[in-house]
Structure 1
């Protein structure tokens, strides 16, 4: 075993010595190495500190720039989305405004159409219908996921299905569906306007055709409208001339109004022509023209036609007019004369009772007396005459006209 090292220090008379043990050597070496290491680290820090600081600052700057670039990108995307949404919103608002205006126009047209249809219903036979209803949009596939259409625009719906939004779908898809709905509503309004015009035109055609049939039948009997007698032959389809643009609906309404006016004039004229039957359901016992006299048996001219009517049955006015005679008149017995204008008059004879007075206004179908056998008569019947310009004409031609145009009146 080695002896520990001894260190002797002599100073004058004083002598000192130290014994170096192994652990003391190890501790001293460790201290020296630690000190050297600290020195090297401090030196390295002082040497590389600026580089480290610059590197850290550079990294922070790069991170900050990356965040700023990301924020700028997100802001750009947000601005783009916001601009798109604003554009879509303006587009939707524009479409809604357009649809509301079209709906108001249709409502105004319906209000204008109502009195004309009421007038047409009084003059045209059969059921009249002009469709003002939009098809229901709530049951369509396009309506799924969109629930912002106002009933004022689309009209009421009878659907019981409740439409709910689907938040899982992209907003763009919702906008596309909204545009599809708007387009469908727009097409529906357009079809409704077109159908209205077509149906009004159909009513105009029906009114013109009815007026033509009435006027044609009356013309065959030699009765013409005072308007047609005063005017030369002109005509053509109605196309309005105006400083402001006119719609097809305006033209069709004006045309229907003109057609109804023509039909009303034709009916007024027909009601003043003796085309009705004075004894409905009663057979003719003696026609107009030459026959053997029922009392003398000689050939004689019969100025009217006889209806085999039971005594006391009603005698009806065959057209609108004014009573010009209502008294007993020789062979006619109890007689009534009615002036219908346009040179036409009717005479009713052999009545048992007169129920009108001279100067009284009567309408077609009014009861003017009761059938009987007064005057030169062999039994209860009604003697009926039609006179044109004071001369007797065959009543059968007028009764035939009445049967032809009965449905029109």
Structure 2
């Protein structure tokens, strides 16, 4: 065993432990320093702790591995749920975009159909408008109700072209909107709303154009009927009848309004019928002697009983006389065929025109004849030159109108011609 020593300065201190091993005559001793004891103790403690940890790990390993696997499984499930939710949202947005795109495509197709319909209408209206172009000058003299706009033959084509331009720009705009519909749910809804608003606006514009087209067609139809009625009334006042059945019809039945394309077709057919009737009335009117053979010339002797200029006794004057100098051109007052052209007793040099239906005109006391018998004559064509041939007291134009060789008063015809001259 070790012995302890004391120090005057530091007090007592323990001596290091000494281990003595005796074996027979052999004696060995070891001195154990404090640090060596501490080191051995630390090693033994570390070995004990390691042993305990290893034992605990072996005992709890399965539980730890199971907890780790469960945690990883929970994380994976959470990721999969998130991915599934995102995929569902993407599918919903894609479906919405597809629906919006299909809606846009259907609306664009509808606009294209409307454009094609307007183009077809324009194609149908152009011949009628060309036909109505001749009626536009006369229509200006016909009273038009104030509620209706001014008649212009170029309105419908302009409207059709305007509709085509509107539709083309609309299709381009809707296409741009459809291409830009890849934003999100809110953006897609906003784009769809804007597209719907644009579609409604364009649809309204197209309907207004169609409405104006129909209104113009109705106005042209009404003006054509009014022009025809005015011509017929003026001719009837002169005792001329175009058609005994004109303006009369036996028809009836309940009113069944038509709409849409049927309405347009009906209006176009009505306009075509009105223009055809107006053309027939005009053709018939131009064949009748209602023009003035000597425009601007004074009538020196009227129709009926008068004092004969040569013998001074009452006598019947079968026509009217216009003051004219020798050589003044004399023109036809209606279409027809020359039935006589030559000397005819007291008429002197005379031209007679057959206008059909027993109606004839005579131009007498001519100095020169410019037509031959059997020649076809148009309104305003030169027949001869004024003179004083035959039974005459001076140069003038003697003008007669006869029906079935019975003389009629030419003044009524001249008044009718003056009334409807701008309508022919």
Whole-Å Cα distance in 2 between the matches of residues 322 and 9 of structure 1? 173
Which residue of 1 is the match for residue 160 of structure 2? 132
C-alpha deviation, 1:398, in angstroms: 0.6
Aligned counterpart for 1:171 among listed residues 167, 188, 192: 188
Superposed, 1:102-117 pairs within 5 Å as 102-117=114-129
Distance 1:233 1:247 in 2: 24
Q: Secondary structure at the match of 1:327?
A: strand
Q: CA deviation at 1:323?
A: 0.9
Secondary structure in structure 1 of the residue aligned to 2:175: coil
Match for 2:213 among 196, 206, 224? 196
1:11 is aligned to 2:23:
yes
SS in 1 for 2:61: helix
Counterpart residue number, 2:372: 357
Alignment correspondent of 2:6:
none
Measured on the aligned residues, the alpha-carbon RMSD in Å equals 2.9
Residue 148 (structure 1) aligned to one of 175, 180, 191: 175
Secondary structure of the residue that 2:407 maps to in structure 1? strand
In 2, Cα distance between equivalents of 1:356 and 1:134: 53
Deviates more, 1:361-370 or 1:164-173: 164-173
Corresponding residue for 1:156? none
For the residues of structure 1 that align with 2:173 and 2:130, how far apart are their CA atoms?
39
CA distance in 1, matches of 2:357, 2:266: 34
| Cross-structure match for 2:231 | 214
Give TM-score, length-normalised by structure 2. Answer: 0.84
Q: How many angstroms does 1:360 deviate by?
A: 0.9
1:247 maps to 2:274: no
Q: Distance in 2 between matches of 1:146 and 1:211?
A: 48
**Contact 2:108-2:174 at 8 Å conserved across structures:** no
* Contact 1:146–1:177 (CA under 8 A) maintained in structure 2: no
From 375, 392, 401, the equivalent of 2:407 is 392
The alignment partner of 2:350 has SS state of strand
SS of the residue corresponding to residue 18 of structure 2 reads strand
- Once the two structures are TM-superposed, the CA of residue 240 in structure 1 deviates from its matched residue by 11
Contact 1:275 1:319 in 2 (8 A): yes
Q: Which runs of 5+ in 1 are unaligned?
A: 151-163
Q: TM-score, normalised by structure 1?
A: 0.87
Show the counterpart of 2:146.
none
SS in 1 for 2:160: coil
Aligned equivalent of 1:234, options 247, 250, 258 = 250
Q: Which moved more, 1:216-225 or 1:63-72?
A: 216-225
Residue 382 (structure 1) shift: 0.4
Partner Cα separation in structure 2 for residue 214 and residue 400 of structure 1: 12
Structure 1 residues 75 and 306, CA, compared in 2 at 3 Å: closer, same or farther? same
Between the aligned partners of 2:366 and 2:267, the Cα distance in structure 1 is 51
> Any residues of structure 2 matched to 1:8-407 within 5 Å, and which?
8-125=20-137, 127-129=152-154, 130=156, 131-134=159-162, 146=173, 148=175, 170-226=187-243, 228=245, 233-234=249-250, 247-407=262-422
Which of 105-114 and 345-354 deviates more?
105-114
Distance in 2 of aligned mates of 1:311 and 1:149: 80
- The residue that corresponds to 1:157 in the other structure is none
Which consecutive unaligned segments of at least 5 residues does structure 2 have? Answer: 1-12, 141-151
Identify the range of structure 1 (384-393 vs 287-296) with the bigger mean alpha-carbon deviation.
287-296
SS at match of 2:337: strand
Name the residue aligned to 1:2: 14
Instruction: Determine if contact 2:361/2:399 at 8 Å carries over to the other structure.
Output: yes
* CA deviation map 1:45-88 (0-9, x unaligned): 23332222222111111111111111111111111112112222
* Residue aligned with 1:375, SS: coil
Task: Tell me if the contact between 2:336 and 2:377 (Cα under 8 Å) persists in the aligned partners.
Answer: yes
Shift of 1:41: 2.0
